[in-house]
Chains A and B, each alone.
Chain A
Amino acid sequence: MSPSAALGPGASQVVGERQEALLEVDGLVVHYRITGAGKVFRKHETVHAVDGVSFDLAPRETLGLVGESGCGKSTTGRTVLYLERPTSGRVRFEGRDLSELTPGELTALRSRMQIVFQDPIGALNPRHTVGQLISEPLRVHDLVPKARRRERVEELLGLVGLPADAASRFPHEFSGGQCQRVGIARAIAAEPALLVLDEPVSSLDVSVQAQILQLLVDLQERLGLAYLFIAHDLAVVGEMSDRVAVMYLGKIVEIAERDALYARPHHPYTQALFSAVPVPDPAVRTGRDGAVVSGEVPSSLSPPPGCRFHTRCPLAQERCRAEEPSLEPVGQGHEVACHFAEAAATARPFGRLATDG
């Protein structure tokens, strides 16, 4: 997962034998300056939303980005699309550095990378019909001649499992799951290569969740999409992803092939996340043996020095408080940012994990 510095700006045209990365993110940093309360004058503080995140994503691949609220996973997703500008770091999409594009080029590129939001209803303009919503990308990027737009909208509705007469209705007439289908139809309308899925099922009912996940898997196969799948739920991420990156306080603490990560999570935080997943089996009572991770996520205004997880880590040593661990390989494509990665993988500080048994 090392940043592909070797790729020049024009490398996108080269179609090598090795599958080239569709998306490369290198040292992404997003800081916000906010104005907080001060004693006399207002203080300026910095939110460390994303603090040096690197990963890449191949075509047709799904990378899961998992973490708790405030870990910077959503910000990462939006910055990858340049909906927010990074403070520093580089995002390359199809070999082109997004920071070097003119606004016009960026707009044109937007047809290739799309986003699906967590709140399915809020992501749809309440004053537009479903037909208008889905045809907007077609109109903006001038992809389909006006006469064929209606046909294309109906085709897209069919793809996401909605009847053609949905086009003349308004978002509020649909349930959350149906709205999410509309959001997905809009996202795939411009035939993108990459979809950022920002918690696409977290606000849906369990029975509807599965329908949407199935739809996403089917669309990926059919349209050859790459997904950046952002979620807080290891179970859902595990069902969808080829690789998984775990984020904590703006940093990736562990990234690996999905099966490797789920079989043997190394980072204590990854293990804590696994142990906290409620298992739908009364025989497995996780968390009842006192193995629940203590404490809460520290403020991203002043992240702890050293390893950011040391305030909650049962294995923390002096070194963890002083020295920040970098992502180091522990296996094929498996990198962990922990000074004691091997020891932690064996020690199992949070007892049995949801994957056991």
Chain B
Amino acid sequence: MTTVQVQLEPAKRASTSFWHAAWYRYRRNRLSVVAGAVALVILVVAVVAPWVAPYREATIDLTHVLARPTWHHWLGTDEIGRDTLTRLIWGDQTSMSVAIGAPLVGALIGLPLGILGGWFGGALDWVVLRLIELFTMVPTILAALLFITVFGVSVWKLALFIGITLWVGFARLARAQYLALRDRDFVQAARAGGVPTWRIILVHILPNAAGPVIVYFVQQIPYTIFTAAGFSFLGLGIQDPTPDWGKMINDAETYLATDPLLVFVPVVAIALACLSFSFVGDGLRDALDPTSK
């Protein structure tokens, strides 16, 4: 036997998977790391809101109306004496529910459609494309407004309505990814190996398409926060007593001149949330883009 044994370089470091390498690249971007920490705090606070908020969600204290910050009310109170910090924390839960929920709905609808269209092509792809075109023609905001008017609003309905407007992007992205990956040699190799189609779609292609999908998902979060806040500000979003950042701005608008802190707090919260998720998205894009390697 004349086979040549190939010596590999001695393993100096542990084998690096794609995700390890991505994490390494992400870590090098300071701004994204800081933004990631902020986003994480925002998310954690949203989850643990019932335990960290100083007061009950809808506690009204008419003896302390429009109070300045005190030891009892760190960020003051609003026109009916609700603690602003409490509202901020509960509003975080509302905002994040919508901000994560809506892209989730979009992904759940869009990804399967895009994957099926991109992988199988033909008539199925034709139908998916026409659906995408149809939904692209309808102005998304107007569609969401229409749903709100017809079906009313709650946190979960809002996530659903905005999510429905987001599926097109997910479908497009998944379709493009699957189209591009379908003819790659490693997919052909899997087919040649007799790997069942469902396994090729889920085990071989999905992990390769995951990077761009995750990035897109995160990029939709600030968009959703903004849209939801916009609806609330117009009075069409979340209704009392559920605390919501957009609603807080709307309520406080009247007191802008006398009590600017009331407006300032939710505005800063929205800006911080949008910016942090936005920078996380940028960092993820750079970290997960295989071409940047």
Contacts and interface: CB of A to CB of B under 8 A. Distances in A.
Interface of A: 78, 81, 83, 106-111, 114-115, 117-119, 122-129, 136-137, 140-141, 159-163, 165-166, 168-170, 173-174, 177-178, 181, 183, 186, 190, 211, 214-215, 218, 222
25 contacts: A107-B194, A108-B194, A111-B194, A117-B188, A119-B185, A122-B184, A122-B186, A123-B188, A124-B186, A125-B190, A125-B204, A125-B207, A136-B190, A140-B196, A159-B3, A161-B3, A161-B4, A163-B5, A163-B6, A165-B11, A170-B15, A186-B189, A186-B193, A211-B6, A214-B3
A127 B207 contact: yes
A127 B18 contact: yes
Given A136-B193, A136-B195, A141-B194, A83 B188 contact: yes
B205 to A, nearest CB: 9
A68 to B, nearest CB: 21
Most B CB within 10 A of own CB, among A109, A110, A159? A110
A140 B190 CA distance: 10
B15 A140 contact: no
Given A161-B6, A165-B11, A214-B2, A170 B193 contact: no
Contacts of A81: 192
B192 A83 contact: yes
B191 interface: yes
Contact of A137 (B3, B5, B193, B196): B193
Contacts of A127: 17-18, 207-208
B186 A190 contact: no
B1 interface: yes
Interface in B183-238: 184-186, 188-196, 199, 204, 207-208
A78 B194 CA distance: 14
B16 interface: yes
A152 to B, nearest CB: 15
A211 B4 CA distance: 7
Nearest to A181: B6
Contacts of A181: 6
Contacts of A177: 6
A214 B5 CA distance: 12
B122 to A, nearest CB: 13
A113 B54 CA distance: 69
Contacts of B189: 115, 117, 123-124, 183, 186
* Residue from A166, A168, A169 with most neighbouring chain B CB atoms (10 Å): A169
A178 B6 contact: yes
A110 B6 contact: no
A126 B3 contact: no
Interface centre among B18, B186, B193, by most A CB within 10 Å? B193
Interface centre among B4, B6, B16, by most chain A C-beta atoms within 10 angstroms, is: B6
Contacts of B4: 161, 211, 214-215
B208 A166 contact: no
B8 interface: yes
